[in-house]
Amino acid sequence: MSTAHPGPQIRLGHIVLYVRELHRSLGFYRDALGLAVTTRLFNDRAAMLSGGDTHHELMLIEVGDAPAPPQGRRLGLYHVAWKVGNDLAALRDAYHQLQAAGVTVHGMADHTISQSLYMYDPDGNEVEVYVDDPTVDWRNDTSWSQAPVKPLRLD
């Protein structure tokens, strides 16, 4: 059973990523994932993007040449996840959109509570796109958290 937060509702507002080249990252987040640019900032060295629910869920700031995020076991951000719909058909559509954009999907997983695709953005940040399984009652039944991750096939 989940415990409710006693204060005002809290939710993630946005994520800010430093990127090497703004136009290259926009090619991924805007063109491949489908986020919309809501504004450009800092003499066109930054952009805010939205999935449509708010003014921005993601901000990209161009910093030029800098080290990529370390891979493997480390502290810090693991990945960012974007919900792309409400059923496997929506995830399948996202998969085809990513393929058409030339994005390599390096992982697919059925987590019982959700089904996911995993890829890297141009700067090496891991990105997940997913759909929740509407048949799983995560508020009242946590048995899904003990289920093994299963392979996912979308073809």
- How high is the mean pLDDT of the chain? 92
Q: Is residue 8 part of a domain?
A: no
Pick 154 or 36 by higher pLDDT: 36
Which pLDDT band, with edges at 50, 70 and 90, does 4 fall under?
low
**Do 84 and 56 fall into the same domain?**
no
Half-sphere CA count of 20, side-chain side, radius 13 A: 12
Pairing relation of β-strands 150-151 and 114-120? unpaired
**Whole-model pTM?**
0.89
Structural domain boundaries enclosing 107: 79-155
pLDDT at residue number 1:
45
Which pLDDT band, with edges at 50, 70 and 90, does 27 fall under?
very high
pLDDT at residue number 148:
95
Q: Is residue 4 part of a domain?
A: no
How many domains in the chain? 2
Per-residue pLDDT tens over the stretch 39-95:
999 999 999 999 999 999 999 999 999 988 888 888 888 999 999 999 999 999 999
**Do 53 and 96 fall into the same domain?**
no
pLDDT at residue number 87:
94
